[in-house]
């Protein structure tokens, strides 16, 4: 069964989320730790600015989710507002995440790639295998349908657009304004593109000058290393921090000194999780600090405008969840039905052989009796097979019937399944 445990912007603040955020260098060890937990067969982590969610394949959902909860609380060093989902509910959530329906900015284009790369990273580390690969394939196919069959993707608003919207609320039109973009990754690129589109003068600052120059060339701006940050802050109107690096220049005392010297408004947009700019810096007069949770509030109007597209997308998601549930039910029921039919066919074959032997071993008689026995077996087991498939679709409600069938027919997996459910 697929399960998910984690938190996101719907139920957790940025302060909650940043204590679980995974730096790139920690991915292998953290994934390996989750993979070693009791009940966890395969595991992948989706960690973005808005969410840290652990997806696991497990034979014992209760044990796996309990172990994951304990591990996340231990990592944070405190209790967190975690959620958990099982089975088709977990799959529905993954599809909605990959489709950007769970994003603070509906239609934002980055999340599908982030989900895909997160599962691929788990596969490279060795904590995700064929079960999660199958789940990911189905989820991405569903997300592709949402993108191609609705206007969610076409009407999407990226983080970069949202950052520009925040700046415009404070400063008005950005044409001719000087904008700093710190970082050279995807979020920095999107922010720089939207700032360019608003005719702002863009300066890209990054530790590696070559990367800053590449992005600056793309948006028609200039590039410098982070050593020039203090100088650029003195002239900037907007600063978009898209790198999770805490810099001394953004400390409250440094900000207060800067604003006394420049005496005009400065908009700081912190897109990093963990946050790169201290919250206290936003209390300095004429400093307007926005973080990723502010994006959610700013874009409520955009979400309302896209309600129709979201409703269409939701219908597609539900259709894909039903397909997933049917496939999973068939997969759970198939071994049981196959073993019952195999047992019955073996018994019928033995009786046919015994009867033919007593009657002289006529090949034609053997053929006719074998066909008749096979037909009887199929007809007798048709209704039980259909009911077992339905019971598997019913999940926990149908589990007693599935277990009863295993016990009644004396199937080899019955003791293990009973023990597994008792353990769960």
Catalytic residues: 49
The contacts of residue 103 (CB under 8 Å, 6+ apart) are: 50, 97, 111
* DSSP H or E run through 372: helix 363-393
Report yes or no: 42 and 64 within 8 Å, Cβ to Cβ.
no
Q: How far apart are CA 220 and CA 246, in angstroms?
A: 27
Strands 222-225 and 2-8 turn out to be unpaired
Strands 51-57 and 42-47 turn out to be antiparallel
Q: How far apart are CA 124 and CA 27, in angstroms?
A: 11
Q: How far apart are CA 228 and CA 243, in angstroms?
A: 16
Report yes or no: 163 and 49 within 8 Å, Cβ to Cβ.
no
| Closest alpha carbon to 88 in 393, 422, 399, 400 | 393
Q: How far apart are CA 299 and CA 165, in angstroms?
A: 9
Q: How far apart are CA 330 and CA 50, in angstroms?
A: 35
Tokens read off for 141: 């196919």
Torsion on CA atoms 348, 351, 357, 361, rounded to nearest 10? -20
Q: How far apart are CA 138 and CA 131, in angstroms?
A: 11
Q: What is the DSSP secondary-structure string of 199-260? A: T-EEEEEESSHHHHHHHHHHHT-EEEEGGGHHHHHHH-SEEEE-S----GGGSHHHHHHHHH
Q: How far apart are CA 247 and CA 205, in angstroms?
A: 12
| Closest alpha carbon to 104 in 144, 62, 50 | 50
What is the sign, positive or negative, of the torsion defined by CA atoms of 254, 257, 258, 259?
positive
| CB burial string 257-286: b at 16+ within 10 A, e below | ebbeeeeeebbbbbbbbbbbbeeebbebeb
């Amino acid at each position: 069964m697929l399960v998910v445990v984690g938190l996101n912007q719907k139920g957790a603040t940025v302060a909650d989320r940043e204590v679980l955020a995974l730096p790139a260098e920690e991915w292998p060890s953290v994934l390996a730790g989750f993979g070693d937990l009791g009940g966890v067969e395969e595991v992948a982590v989706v960690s973005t600015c808005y969410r840290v969610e652990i997806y696991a394949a497990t034979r014992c959902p209760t044990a796996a989710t309990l172990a994951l909860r304990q591990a996340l609380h231990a990592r944070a060093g405190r209790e967190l507002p975690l959620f958990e989902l099982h089975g088709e509910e977990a799959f529905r959530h993954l599809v909605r995440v990959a489709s950007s329906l769970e994003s603070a900015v509906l239609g934002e284009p980055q999340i599908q790639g982030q989900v895909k790369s997160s599962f691929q990273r788990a596969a490279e580390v060795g904590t995700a295998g064929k079960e999660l690969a199958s789940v990911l394939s189905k989820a991405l196919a569903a997300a592709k349908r949402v993108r191609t069959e609705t206007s969610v993707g076409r009407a999407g608003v990226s983080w970069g657009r949202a950052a520009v919207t925040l700046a415009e609320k404070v400063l008005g039109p950005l044409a001719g304004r000087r904008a700093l973009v710190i970082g050279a990754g995807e979020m920095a690129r999107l922010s720089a593109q939207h700032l360019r589109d608003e005719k702002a003068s863009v300066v890209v600052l990054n530790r590696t000058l070559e990367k800053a120059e590449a992005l600056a060339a793309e948006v028609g701006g200039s590039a410098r290393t982070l050593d020039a940050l203090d100088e650029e802050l003195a002239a900037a109107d907007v600063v978009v921090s898209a790198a999770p690096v805490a810099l001394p220049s953004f400390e409250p005392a440094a900000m207060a000194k800067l604003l006394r010297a420049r005496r005009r408004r400065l908009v700081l947009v912190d897109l990093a999780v963990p946050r790169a700019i201290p919250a206290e810096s936003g209390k300095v007069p004429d400093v307007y600090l926005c973080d990723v949770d502010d994006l959610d509030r700013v874009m409520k109007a955009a979400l309302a405008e896209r309600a129709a597209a979201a409703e269409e997308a939701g219908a597609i998601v539900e259709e894909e969840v039903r397909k997933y549930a049917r496939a999973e039910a068939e997969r759970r029921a198939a071994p049981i039905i196959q073993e019952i039919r195999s047992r019955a066919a073996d018994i019928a074959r033995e009786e046919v052989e015994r009867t033919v032997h007593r009657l002289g071993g006529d090949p034609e008689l053997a053929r006719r009796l074998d066909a008749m026995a096979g037909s009887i077996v199929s007809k007798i087991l048709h209704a039980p097979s259909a009911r077992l498939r339905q019971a598997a679709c019913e999940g926990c409600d149908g589990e007693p019937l599935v277990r009863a069938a295993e016990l009644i027919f004396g199937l080899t997996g019955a003791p293990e399944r009973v023990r597994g459910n008792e353990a769960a």
